[in-house]
Structure 1
Amino acid sequence: MDSGEPSPPADVTPLRQVPGLAELVVLAAGCSFGDGVLRVFTEDEARRAQGLANLMFPEWAPRLRPFAQDWLGRLYALDLHRGALLLLLEPGSGGVFELDGTIPDLFDQIVDDPDTFLALDLFTPWRAAHPEPLPTGTCVGFKTPLFLGGDGTVENLEVIDEEVYWSVHGQLWAQVKDLPPGTPISGVEIS
C-alpha cells in the first residue's frame, strides 16, 4: 500500500451482494497501491467519480457504482442494472468496456497482467520521468484523446485535474462519438 488509511463506508450491508466489494472497501477504501497506479475509493470519492462518469457517459449514470480508479483516470465500476457486471470507463478512448468475472477475479487479473489492466507498460516510463506523487484530484491524461487520433505514448500524457479531464473529454466525445470511423475533423473547439 502506498498511502491512505482504510476508510470503509459506514454501512456495507447493501454491498454484501456483490462478491468481493464489501471486503475491498472495508480493507482498502481510501488507499492507493503500486506507486499510485490504482486507488480504491472511499464513499465520498465514489460519489465524486460517479459525477465524473456522468459528464462523459450520461447514458450510464443511473447504473454505475465506481469503486476504483487507475493513474490514467479510468474508472472501475459496477453496472448495477446487470448483476453488478464489472466495467472499465476510459475517458481517453471514450470506451466503456465489460470485464469478465468478479472483483476478486479482476484483482487476480491485475496482478497477472498489469500491462493490460493498468497500462503498467506506459506507467513505468511515465513514472521514471515524473517521480513526484500525483496531487489529490488529478490524474495522468492524454493531451490528445485516443478517440481523436492521439498516441498512447508518454509524450502524449500530462498531469491534469480529473474534473477538467473528464469534462473536456466528455464534451469532445459527445461531438464525435456518432461520427463514422475515419471522418476527418477539421478543428476542435472547447466551450
Structure 2
Amino acid sequence: MFRRFGAMYPFDGGVVLPPADLKPLKQVPGLAELVTTAAGCTFGDGIFRVFTEDEALRAQRLANAMFPEWAVRIRPIARDWLGRQYALDLHRNAMLILLEPGSGGVYELDGTIPELLDEQMVDDPDTFLAQDLFRAWRSVHPERIPAGMCVGFKVPLFLGGDGTVENLEVIDEEVYWSTHGQLWSKVRDLPPGSMIEGVEIN
C-alpha cells in the first residue's frame, strides 16, 4: 500500500510515532497502515506530512475554530505544504475532506486514504497537493519548510489574494490558521461581491 505515493514523494525524514491504540483505526481503510508507517513523517521535500496523535489533536482544534460547523464530523490525519488539512469525514463512512485556511473552503473528496495517496495525489498532484505552485515556490525558496511551519497566503484568497508565489510566506502553522480563522469569521457570511474595506485581527 502507498507504493505509488512513496515512489513519487520520497520520505524526507521524521520518526514514526503511531498512536498507542490502533484497534479503532482498523475500521477505516488504510488508516492503520498510514499511521504505523508514516505518522510524524514528511514526504516529497515537504509537500505532505502525516500527523502524529498530538499533531492531529492540535489540527482538530485549529479546524474546529475556523470551521465550527464541521467540528463534529472531521478527524484530521495529515496536511500539505500550504497548511491545508486532510481529514476523515465521519458522516461519509470515513471518506476524506480537505480544509483550506487560505480560501476558507471545505471540500469533500471522493476517495479513501489509499485512493487519495496512491491514485489522486499521483495522477492529479496539482489538484490534490498544489504541486504546480509548490514547484514554483521551491524554485525561489529551495530550503525545506521548518517543522511546525507551513507556506501560507499573505493575503487570503477569500479577501482577493492571488494564488501566486509572490503572495506566499513561511509562517507558523498555528498562527496561520488562527489569523485566517479570525478573518474568515468576519467575512464568511457576506454576500458574494461585497466590498471589504477593513478587517481587524485581535
1:43-62 alpha-carbon deviations (Å, 9 max, x no partner): 11111111111121112222
Give the CA deviation at 1:6. 1.6
Give the distance between the partners of 1:187 and 1:157, measured in 2 at CA: 21
Off by >2 Å, runs of 4+ in structure 1: none
Tell me what 2:6 maps to: none
Q: What SS is found at the alignment partner of 1:2?
A: strand
1:173 equivalenced with 2:184 (yes/no): yes
Tell me what 1:35 maps to: 45
1:58 equivalenced with 2:99 (yes/no): no
Give the CA deviation at 1:147. 0.5
User: Which residues in structure 2 correspond to 1:19-168 (within 5 Å)?
Assistant: 19-107=29-117, 108-168=119-179
**Aligned residue type for 1:67:** I
Give the distance between the partners of 1:8 and 1:137, measured in 2 at CA: 18
User: Which residues in structure 2 correspond to 1:2-17 (within 5 Å)?
Assistant: 2-17=12-27
Aligned Cα root-mean-square deviation (Å): 0.9
TM superposition score normalised by structure 2: 0.92
Aligned residues: 191
List gaps (5 residues or longer) in structure 1. Answer: none
List gaps (5 residues or longer) in structure 2. Answer: 1-10
Give the CA deviation at 1:42. 0.9
Percent identity over the alignment? 75
TM superposition score normalised by structure 1: 0.97
Moved more, 131-140 or 27-36: 131-140
